[in-house]
Amino acid sequence: MTADTRIHGDVAVITLNNPPVNGLGLATRQGIAAGINQANADPAVKAIVITGAGKAFSGGADIKEFGSPKALQEPNLLSVILALENSAKPIVAAIHSVCMGGGLELALGAHYRIAAPGTSVALPEVKLGLIPGAGGTQRLPRVVGVEAALNMIVSGEPIKSEMLASLPGQKLFDKMAASPESLAEEALAFAREVAAKHADGSALPLVRNLPCKHPLGDAYFQFSRNMVKGMSKNFPAPAKCVDAVEAATKKKFDEGMAFERELFINLMWTAECRALRHIFVAERAASKIADVPADTPLRAINSIAIIGAGTMGGGIAMNFLNAGIPVKMLEMKQEALDRGLATIRKNYEAQVKKGKLKQDKYEQRMALLSTTLSYDDLGTADMVIEAVFEEIGVKEAVFKELDRVMKPGAILASNTSTLDVNAIAAFTKRPEDVVGLHFFSPANVMKLLEVVRGAKTAKDVMATVMAVAKKIRKTAVVSGVCDGFIGNRMIEQYGRQGGFLLDEGCTPAQVDKAMEKFGMAMGPFRMGDLAGNDIGWAIRKRRVVEKPDMKYSKTADLLCEKGRFGQKTGAGWYDYVPGKRDAIPNAEVVAMIEEHRKSLGITPRKISDEEIVQRLVFSLVNEAAHILEEGIAAKASDIDIVYIFGYGFPPHRGGPMNYADEVGLFNVVQAMNRFAKNPLDDAKFWQPAPLLAKLAAEGKTFN
Ligand code: NAD
């Protein structure tokens, strides 16, 4: 059991002890139930305190149990909460650090609650496509009011305990502890106080007995429904949150509970909920590397050097400054350093202006940043990240210098997006210390980090950079060495399909609209304009030499020949007004596409949104299957994480691999066979990757 009970004089203290966040898995629930029984059977005990060991009161349900029979196995969370309510001796929940989801629902079953300041309180189920399922929607409105509760339930966002304690008329916390350190002591005293109060046998207070009304009733819920609909177009869960809270105001408590349960179970079986849960688990799994043990000793990383203060170097630097880690940047010329520094300042000042960063924090961060023109100043840094021009000769010169000056044991990282990390490692006498850290632009904003593992990269280097990624709040995925790594290798095929669609009859706006309706943050052509169409152009120029028989549409080359590189030149597939990001369709571009189509003798046809989505998404899937097979990605879920966190793939679809699994791999292969018959498409590409063909034939899935 992962909850234990100790007797402190006349108070029994039940402590949840299931690291890291005291998840309410079966063993923990059994421990709580046993503790309540033990305390009630012990005549010396007058009151009970329930709390959590370590870094949380409780982070909520054990997500690994979701969808498994274990979640329902008795005592399930509902029964445990009932046991709290039915305890003859008063129970005080002593809440600290993190009190979320099922953890908050558990606390709401206690007779009294005392909280430490600084506790993050939330019902985050909506983020997994669910509503709270153990009374959260029925009890929270009774203690913080309908509006505050609904805001918390629909957003899933945490609120600090002191903020909740200041709500007028709130009954969530009976008492606030002076500090987290004094909570245990104060909880014991409070438990004795309530034991004395109820020594006369007076009834113990239950949240379920509190009234629950909104003065505007129907009008308020109608308003909420409209708001929620606008904000969450593809998710069913937020609207169900409104329904459940409304039920709390209109139904008897037990009927409201039954209603909540029904909504919860129905949501549990939706594809959206499966997708969101998949991402939750996949993100955690991505940080683990099969052959690198969790207890691998880490190298200490307390200072960073960055080579190149351009677009990427500056953004990368900000990540470390934000985490309080000192950074030294090197450039070849003072002007380049000045430019890089000015960009970092400008970015921070914009945050200060928007009220997202305090002036003193900004100054603290800038104070951690220093610059140099000399490699000899870098030697003591624990890790160096190179972000210079993407030319192998330049990388060679830089890595030879780094090999000369960096102290033994320093990690040497490259932010290259296309070059061979093994070749870069071979420029040094310490290839085991070399690793790829592929940040995405803007590097201070984008969550994804591809960690490129070279053939000789040491295991402790891998473990260290994964830990560093966490520290700078990136979602890291390991990729093997190949052209484009995981993400860009796949996007090249996606871009190629986009080109064929234009040749066959689409406009850029039609393709983008279809993909955005599917849920992508932006369609392929808007994305090209944002990233710069010249990047793809450069890659194609290389490809036509490497693979002269590769089939591709020339339309994007024609666009680039006009200098339409995208947002940075004010014109790409669309036009842009300075200072704005709205994509305005351009008639000349459409005419250019039509003319090119005519020159190829193609009669345009009407292409459905469904075909657009399938061709683009399945092109990702087929390339990804090759990537998996080659061992470039360790697991399908890593690929999903790359696409969700780096390429704007809709979370409620769970990533391309999860989406393919939902569609059914048999159906995916059938569609590919159909696309292969289209003479204007690339039949060779649409040969299903052997792994995909095998899984489909066996009726299996990627994940
Ligand atoms: P950039 O041109 O904006 O910046 C490169 C900087 O490196 C310039 O300031 C230049 O003065 C400096 N530099 C060049 N040679 C140098 C040398 N020998 N010593 C010191 N400084 C030198 O380029 P960027 O977009 O920041 O790209 C840098 C690296 O990051 C490239 O390898 C690129 O492939 C990779 N990358 C770029 C992106 C992106 O979207 N821009 C995304 C991921 C990775």
Burial bucket for residue 590 (CB in 10 Å: 0-12, 13-18, 19+): middle
Strand runs labelled E in 453-501: 475-479
What pLDDT digit, counting tens, does each position of 268-308 carry? 989 999 999 999 999 999 999 999 999 999 999 999 999 99
Work out the pLDDT band at 234, boundaries 50, 70, 90: low
Q: How far is the CA of 344 from the centre of ligand 1 (A)?
A: 15
pLDDT at 233: 65
Cα 29 to Cα 443: distance, rounded to the nearest angstrom: 43
**Which residues, other chains included, contact 476 with Cβ-Cβ below 8 Å and sequence gap of 6+?**
286, 287, 449, 450, 451, 465, 466, 469, 470
Q: What are phi and psi of 349, to 5 degrees?
A: -65, -35
Give the full edge-to-edge strand order of the sheet including 120-122.
Answer: 98-100, 120-122, 159-160
Residue with tokens 């030319």: 391
Burial bucket for residue 610 (CB in 10 Å: 0-12, 13-18, 19+): exposed
What pLDDT digit, counting tens, does each position of 118-142 carry? 999 999 999 999 999 999 999 999 9
Cα 326 to Cα 339: distance, rounded to the nearest angstrom: 19
Q: How large a percentage of the chain has pLDDT more than 70?
A: 100
Cα 589 to Cα 575: distance, rounded to the nearest angstrom: 10
Query: What pTM was estimated for this model as a whole?
Result: 0.89
Residue 67 has pLDDT above 80, yes or no: no
Q: How far is the CA of 8 from the centre of ligand 1 (A)?
A: 62
Cα 54 to Cα 57: distance, rounded to the nearest angstrom: 8
- Among the atoms of ligand 1, which is closest to the Cα of residue 394? 18
- Among the atoms of ligand 1, which is closest to the Cα of residue 330? 20
Mutation test of ligand 1: which of 311, 440, 444 has the most ligand atoms closer than 8 Å to its C-beta?
311
Give the full edge-to-edge strand order of the sheet including 304-307.
Answer: 369-372, 327-330, 304-307, 383-386, 411-414, 434-439, 448-452, 475-479
3-state SS class at 578: coil
Site residues for ligand 1, CB cut-off 6 Å: 307-313, 330-332, 336, 387-390, 394, 397-398, 415-417, 438-441
What pLDDT digit, counting tens, does each position of 174-232 carry? 999 999 999 999 999 999 999 999 999 999 999 999 999 998 989 999 999 999 887 77
Nearest CA to ligand 1 atom 4: 310
Cα 451 to Cα 293: distance, rounded to the nearest angstrom: 17
**610 in active site:** no
Nearest one of 445, 329, 305, 307 to 389, comparing CA atoms: 307
Cα 375 to Cα 330: distance, rounded to the nearest angstrom: 7
Enclosing H/E stretch for 464: helix 459-471
**255 in active site:** no
**Which residues, other chains included, contact 661 with Cβ-Cβ below 8 Å and sequence gap of 6+?**
701, 702, 703
| Residue range 301-322: mean pLDDT, rounded | 97
Work out the pLDDT band at 259, boundaries 50, 70, 90: very high
Output the CA torsion sign for 275, 151, 241, 264: positive
Q: How far is the CA of 387 from the centre of ligand 1 (A)?
A: 5
Residue 106 has pLDDT above 80, yes or no: yes
CB-CB neighbours of 341 under 10 Å: 18
What pLDDT digit, counting tens, does each position of 499-511 carry? 999 999 999 999 9
Catalytic member of 74, 85, 105, 162: 105
Catalytic member of 65, 74, 125, 595: 125
What pLDDT digit, counting tens, does each position of 533-555 carry? 998 999 999 899 999 989 999 99
pLDDT at 1: 77
- Among the atoms of ligand 1, which is closest to the Cα of residue 532? 40
Q: How far is the CA of 316 from the centre of ligand 1 (A)?
A: 11
